[in-house]
Each structure stands twice: as C-alpha cells, then as structure tokens.
Structure 1
Amino acid sequence: MSIEQALAFHTEAFRAVALWTGLSLLFILWLSMRISAGRRKLKVSVGDGGHPALTASTRAFGNAIEYVPLALVALAVVAVFYSAAIVHAVGGAFFIGRVLHAWGMGQEKQPAVGRMLGMILTYLTFIGSAGLLIFAAVF
C-alpha cells in the first residue's frame, strides 16, 4: 500500500469515527436537555425530586455517559487498523443501541424491550471492538 493509499484509507476510517462521535455528542446533549426540561417542568432544582420520569431521564443520561466515552476511544483505535466500513458497522450498532436504551428507559413498563435491546447492542459492540483490537494487537 502506498503512502497515498494508506492516508486515504485512514482518512476515510477517521471520518467515520468523526460521524459517530458527532452524533454521540448531539445525543448526549439531547439527553441532558431532557433532564433540564424535566426539572423545569417539575420545579426540581437538584436531583429527581422523587419523580420516576425524571429519575429515568437522569439514568438514561448517566448510562450514556458511562458507556459512550470508552466506546468512542475504542472506535478511534479500531479506525487505526480497520476500514471505514468496520468503523461504521461498530459505530452504527453502538449508536442505535444507545438510542434504543434511552428510549427504553423512558417507557413506563420496565424492563422495556428497547432498554434490553440497547444493552445487548452495547455489549456486542464492546465485545466486537475488544476482539478486533486484540486481534490487531496479536496478529
């Protein structure tokens, strides 16, 4: 592979990382804004005031903050070794998983299907990323 080909390969892969990172940032901002709107509506300054809907919004945000940063770091390292198509597959599955999880958290009946599917997709993308990275490091 020539220098030009390698540069194009990595540029495309990192553009894929940029897409999923940008979407994740907007998603986290949206989750945060849902909490702020809920607090204003319910006149709660700090915490959830014992309101289940606000508790669910807060946990959806907290859960995203717990998973998204590490997933994006993994995605960036995956882009060093693999194509943009792989980055899009992992990033897309992870993003869909996070959206499903947040939507499921807002459902009245728990555990909600979206929440469970979201966590399954999140776990699968973590396992897949780990496998890809270990493979790249060993082979």
Structure 2
Amino acid sequence: MIFPITAIYASILALIGLVLMFQVVLMRGKTGISILHGDNMLLAQAMRRHGNFIEHVPLVLILMGIVEANGGNPTLLHVLGTVLVVARIAQPLGLHHDRMIHPLRAVGTVGTVLPTVVLIGVALWQVVGS
C-alpha cells in the first residue's frame, strides 16, 4: 500500500529533523561536550529542540499513515500535515533556554497538539464509528 500524502509530510519533517540534529552535532563539536549538555545552556537548548521534535512527530506521522490507509480525507490530511510542518518550524524558533514564554513556542505546541488530537479522533472514528 502506498501512502503518498504521509510520504510528503514525512519527508519534509525528516528534513526539519535533520536540521535540528545537525544543530546539536555542530554545538557538540564547538563545545567538545559529547555526552549530555555539560551545563552548556545553548547545547541543552539545541538538544531540547531536537528532543521535542523526536518526542512528537513520529506519533503524528504514524496516525497520519493509519488514517490515510483507512481512506481518510486527503484535504484534511494535507491541512493537518501543513499545520504540523509550520508548527515544527515554529517550535524550535520559540524554544529558548532563557525565556519560558514565546509566541512561536505556543504556535508550535498548538500546531502539534491539534493534528495529534484530530488524527486520534479520525482514526478511532474510522474503526469504531463506521
């Protein structure tokens, strides 16, 4: 079975994930810290930006693939995928070690939670409600 819509967003998000990973790698090279963050807050920030991405994106992509496999609405999948991409670009830009509140962090959080919740609901509806 082919999942063309999920493949589009998985590919775009994988590129974002690589950028976040390379930021950690470059920071590790710059600081000489190979394990944890050594109390370097910029390294800790880069690690959390990447970690936050890894903690959330795979679940959403799995749900997207399930919904697509079960005949989910392509327009809805594209809207949710686009929201997730925008959110995952905004989230690291708003995640700073020296300030808790930032508008882009809120955009990233809401834009990640919303597709997750909608996809959970649609996936359950496809199986239980139909």
Q: Tell me whether 1:128 sits opposite 2:118 in the alignment.
A: yes
Distance 1:40 1:111 in 2: 29
Structure 1 runs of 4+ off > 4 angstroms? none
Deviations 1:111-137 (CA, angstroms, capped at 9, x unpaired): 221112111111111111111112212
Distance 1:105 1:133 in 2: 30
Distance 2:7 2:35 in 1: 33
Q: Tell me whether 1:76 sits opposite 2:68 in the alignment.
A: no
The amino acid of 1:51's aligned partner reads N
Matched residues, number: 128
Determine which structure has more spread, i.e. the larger CA radius of gyration.
Answer: 1
**Alpha carbon RMSD of aligned pairs, Å?**
1.7
Distance 1:108 1:92 in 2: 29
| Structure 2 residues not aligned, in runs of 5+ | none
SS of equivalent residue, structure 1 residue 109? coil
Query: 1:106 deviation in Å?
Result: 4.0
Deviations 1:32-52 (CA, angstroms, capped at 9, x unpaired): 100011111122122212111
Q: Which residue of 2 aligns with 1:88?
A: 78
In the superposition, the TM-score normalised over structure 2's length comes to 0.89
| Structure 1 residues not aligned, in runs of 5+ | 1-9
Q: Which residue of 2 aligns with 1:55?
A: 44
Question: Going by fraction, where is helix more abundant, 1 or 2?
Answer: 1
Further displaced range: 91-100 or 101-110: 101-110
The amino acid of 2:23's aligned partner reads R
Distance 1:134 1:73 in 2: 14
Q: Tell me whether 1:16 sits opposite 2:5 in the alignment.
A: yes
The amino acid of 2:79's aligned partner reads A
